[in-house]
Amino acid sequence: MKRLALFASVLLVTAPALAAEWEGPQDPFQLYGNSYYVGTAGLSSVLITSPAGHILIDGASPKAAVQIAAHIRQLGFKLEDIRYILTSHEHYDHVGGVAELQRLSGATVLTSPAAQAVLETGKPNKGDPQFGNLPDMTPVASVRSVRDGESVSLGTLSVKAHYTPGHTQGGVSWTWQALENGRTVNMVYADSLTAIAGPNFRYSGDALYPNAKRDIERSIARVAALPCDILVTAHPDAGGLLERQAKQKQLGNAAFVNPGACVAYADAGREKLAQTLAQEAAKK
């Protein structure tokens, strides 16, 4: 799992330097039906469209937010038509750009209760496994929490929240259905499932987040069990999204369909957790 090892090593640098590695240019593209990838080369963001308005998942870093806004306009959609911005987890590289995208769109931001305080204050949670490597962010206004299993509805759109903590305390994955040429597929925007700890955190037991190991184990199992035809991960490379996009010219949007993708992604997360626990045991 060379890709997983790369993500583990990069994530331990400071967040601004980390984000710069992933803010490279990436043209937006259609995923399936009304769903579009509008993120950068290394930071995912997905736009789900409808006549009643649009839903955006993740705002990436502050610098990437400018690209996301440009990508949405490039596709012919208006930022002012975004009604909701949903978040995966409360790290700088995934929600650092949310404040700017909210300012441009006027959208309401929806997240988990555990992530809400981080978004509203801009201050990292001291119980975050990577606390100490995370900078402050611009606080976000108009934040609401959603319940686990709650569906966010907008016209014909319905996007369901699945709490997936462990990488952070407030992680959320999202599912919806997309229709194209008479075929409906199950879309999954999966939060990070990697057990990556800062220098002072232990997944095997830490007073600031004692349920971290149990949470990430449950989240891994939960993502593996989701109905999953097309997977988008919070970092596109973690799920091979851009590799599939390279085949889009030949295969059309069917290039993204892979019913085994969520299971493979969960397996990679399980492998990383085992590595992290083994490293912690070796340091005792």
Both tokens assigned to 91: 């790290």
Residue 126: other Cβ atoms inside 10 A: 9
Report residue 8 as tokens: 């583990």
Range 3-23 average pLDDT: 52
Residue 283's pLDDT is what? Answer: 86
**Residues 43, 37: Cα–Cα separation, whole Å:** 10
Average predicted confidence (pLDDT) for the chain: 93
In the 8-state DSSP scheme, what is residue 97?
T
Task: At 40, list the tokens.
Answer: 């950068």
Residue 4 has pLDDT above 60, yes or no: no
Percentage of residues of the chain with pLDDT beyond 90: 89
Confidence of residue 21 (pLDDT cuts 50, 70, 90): confident
d(C-alpha 69, C-alpha 59), whole Å: 9
DSSP run (H or E) holding 153: strand 151-154
Please say if the pLDDT value at position 124 is more than 50. Answer: yes
Give pTM, 2 decimals.
0.94
Residue type, 150: E
Four-way CATH pick for 2-282: 3.30.930.10, 3.90.1170.50, 3.60.15.10, 2.160.10.10: 3.60.15.10
SS3 13: coil
The pLDDT value given to residue 251:
97
Is the pLDDT at 274 greater than 90? The verdict is yes
Alpha-carbon dihedral sign for residues 268, 197, 234, 152 = positive
Helix axes 15-22, 62-74, angle to 10 degrees: 30
- Contact indicator for 242, 26 with CB cutoff of 8 Å: yes
More confident residue, 1 or 223: 223
Is residue 107 within 8 Å of residue 152, measured between CB atoms?
no
Question: Confidence class of residue 266 from pLDDT cuts 50, 70 and 90?
Answer: very high
Q: pLDDT by residue (tens digit) across 207-259? A: 999 999 999 999 999 999 999 999 999 999 999 999 999 999 999 999 999 99
Cα–Cα distance measured from residue 238 to residue 232, given in angstroms and rounded to the nearest whole number: 9
Query: Using 50, 70 and 90 to split pLDDT, how confident is the model at 280?
Result: very high
HSE of 66, CA atoms in CB hemisphere, 13 A: 5
Q: pLDDT of 128-153, one tens digit each?
A: 999 988 999 999 999 999 999 999 99
pLDDT of residue 199: 83
Whole-angstrom distance, CA of residue 2 vs CA of residue 73: 35
For residue 17, name the pLDDT band (cuts at 50, 70, 90). low
Please name the residue that has the structure tokens 């204050």: 121
Domain ranges of the chain: 2-282
**213 vs 266: CA distance, rounded Å:** 15
Helix H, strand E, coil C: the string for 234-261 is CCHHHHCHHHHHCCHHHHHHHHHCCCCH
Residue 284's Cβ-count burial label (10 Å; 0-12, 13-18, 19+) is exposed
Residues 188, 230 contacting (CB under 8 angstroms): yes
